[in-house]
Amino acid sequence: MAAISRLILGANMAGWVDITESGLAPALSASDFTATRWPGGSTSDEYHWQTNASCNGGYIATNSTFDNFMHDVAQPANLDVAVTLDYGSNAACNAGGDPSEAAAWVAEAKTNAYGVKYWTVGNEEYGSWEYDLHSSPHDPTTYASALATGFYPQIKTADSNAQVGAVVEANSAWDSTVLTSAAYDFVELHYYAQAPGSENDQTLLTQGAPALTTEINTLKSELATAGHASTPIYVGEIGSVYGNPGKQSMSIVQGLYAGMVLGELMNDGVFRATWWLGFGGCNDASSGANFSSSLYGWQNFGGYMILSDGTPEYGCSNATAVPRGTPFPTARAYQLMSQVAQTGEHALGVTTASALSTVRAYAATHGSGYAVVLFNLDENNAHAVNVGVDAMTSGSGATITTYGKAQYDNSQQNVWTGPVSQSVGAWQHTVPVTLPPWSMNVVLLAP
């Protein structure tokens, strides 16, 4: 199947977080993140990098300049950086984005040898929630023309190696115009499985990840129709809920969903992806976020962050203290998938026995061996399975790494337990694996 890119193991960072705080880069490295996106979502269409200021009154941390971000986070953590350029506003805050301002940022990054390759013009410009001072805001024709006649040529002049991205919304009138008329090297898609307040654990586990592939396939079809079938797809934002995250965001349920999302991204051949959000932002019950007893979990806070901000969590004065950099379940999923999502390897097709209705599986080549990722979506029962590879009748051993409900449940006492591993000796035909309830299991098969 598709070639795998390790750049799918990414997490967004945002300018409202003080990125000079200690521990950010080590925590990102420890969870094996490889990529990031800056300066953060809708903020990008208000943000002016030269003054580190926002047009629309949005908060930008004083220390969170582009240079500080590169020096304090991106470079120490060895992260590949993508930047979202300001399409919504010019420096005077009285008109739409200025291509020359964007080109100057590209030139600055090149001068400083920051190695920033990917530059997307705007964030979710198809949406009315986005800050846009153009005379025709949120208009696909205006956007496409701005890329074709302004942003694209000026960025390429500043750095011929820069790759320019266009924002897309699959299955929309926006795409039918932009994909045909804009100039771009890649497209950037955002995906959230649920609306705030409608979170459902079983729906997220059984439908959330496959629905991403459906959306990507729609986008691939749109690109082919526009004559750009080979255009790379970057999933710039991924999450379980697009606003006001509650208790589900901290639970094993979102962690399992995240792991399956990464499996889908491997199968879909996506070249780059960044989860929303590495650090920053927190909700407690006073925010109106969903803390329903129907959702599994132990925390009195939720949030986009998948690594702890420390004490207190941003915006959560009543949140239980968690040491800065602690991986929450979603980050644990990234740790496990980092064993599998290796550049140069390929995704493999998987057949699962019909009796295993609660088991989801993904697989990939792994050097001279193979990697298989198994999800048990049964909350209460373990399942015994036998894992085999058609091209491999025996092996010298296997390693099984597990993260699941048993580890997450320790967080009820504010103990955030990591994955556990076990080794299996030489095997013939198949490897027996027991999948604990609600768990993610990476099986590495050695030849």
- Band (pLDDT 50/70/90 cuts) for residue 63 is very high
DSSP sequence for 278-303: SS---B-GGGT----TTS----S-B-
Q: How many residues does the chain have?
A: 447
Share of the chain above pLDDT 90, in %: 93
Give the Cβ contact number of residue 375 at 10 Å: 24
**Helix or strand holding residue 408 (H, E):** helix 405-408
Q: Where in the chain is the domain with CATH 3.20.20.80?
A: 6-337
Q: Alpha-carbon distance 345 to 175, whole Å?
A: 31
CB-based contact 18:310 (threshold 8 Å)? no
pLDDT attached to residue 55? 95
Question: Quick check: pTM over 0.95?
Answer: yes
pLDDT digits (tens, 9 = 90+) for 126-145: 999 999 999 999 999 999 99
pLDDT attached to residue 67? 97
List the 347-348 sheet strands across, edge first. 347-348, 359-366, 369-376, 439-446, 397-404, 420-424
Whether residue 268 is predicted with pLDDT greater than 80 in this model: the reply is: yes
Q: Alpha-carbon distance 2 to 263, whole Å?
A: 11
pLDDT attached to residue 315? 66
Whether residue 313 is predicted with pLDDT greater than 70 in this model: the reply is: no
pLDDT digits (tens, 9 = 90+) for 334-370: 999 999 999 999 999 999 998 899 999 999 999 999 9
Burial 271-289 (b: 16+ CB within 10 A, else e): bbbbbbbbbbbbbbeebeb
CATH superfamily for 349-446 is: Golgi alpha-mannosidase II (2.60.40.1180)
Whether residue 319 is predicted with pLDDT greater than 80 in this model: the reply is: no
Secondary structure class of 140 (helix, strand, coil): helix
pLDDT digits (tens, 9 = 90+) for 143-197: 999 999 999 999 999 999 999 999 999 999 999 999 999 999 999 999 999 999 9
Both structure tokens of 443:
């099986």
pLDDT attached to residue 389? 92
Query: What is the average pLDDT value for the chain, to the nearest integer?
Result: 96
Secondary structure class of 81 (helix, strand, coil): strand
Whether residue 317 is predicted with pLDDT greater than 90 in this model: the reply is: no
Supply the CATH classification number for the domain 6-337: 3.20.20.80
Owner of token pair 């008109």: 95
Owner of token pair 């644990």: 332
Question: What phi and psi, each to the nearest 5 degrees, are found at residue 318?
Answer: -100, 5
Instruction: Give the mean pLDDT of 296-315.
Output: 86
Strand 394-395 to 163-167 pairing: unpaired
Q: Alpha-carbon distance 139 to 88, whole Å?
A: 12
DSSP H helices in 301-385? 329-337
Instruction: Give the mean pLDDT of 193-220.
Output: 98
pLDDT digits (tens, 9 = 90+) for 368-407: 999 999 999 999 999 999 999 998 889 999 999 999 999 9
Burial 150-183 (b: 16+ CB within 10 A, else e): bbbebbbebbeebbbbbbbbbeeebbebbbeebb
DSSP sequence for 212-238: HHHHHHHHHHHHHHTT-TT--EEEEEE
* Rg over CA atoms, the chain: 22
Secondary structure class of 105 (helix, strand, coil): helix
CA nearest neighbour of 151 among 82, 91, 104: 104
Residue 400 pairs in a beta bridge with 422, 443
Q: Alpha-carbon distance 409 to 419, whole Å?
A: 13
Q: Alpha-carbon distance 260 to 316, whole Å?
A: 29
Instruction: Find out whether the peptide bond into 39 is cis, omega within 30 degrees of 0.
Output: yes
Question: What phi and psi, each to the nearest 5 degrees, are found at residue 389?
Answer: -125, 130
CB-based contact 204:253 (threshold 8 Å)? yes
* Per-residue DSSP letter, 410: G
Q: Where in the chain is the domain with CATH 2.60.40.1180?
A: 349-446
More confident residue, 318 or 97: 97
pLDDT attached to residue 71? 97
Distances (CA, A) of 215 to 65, 175, 321: 34, 13, 38
Distances (CA, A) of 415 to 25, 280, 281, 321, 418: 22, 21, 21, 11, 10
Share of the chain above pLDDT 70, in %: 99
Instruction: Give the mean pLDDT of 238-243.
Output: 97
pLDDT attached to residue 314? 66
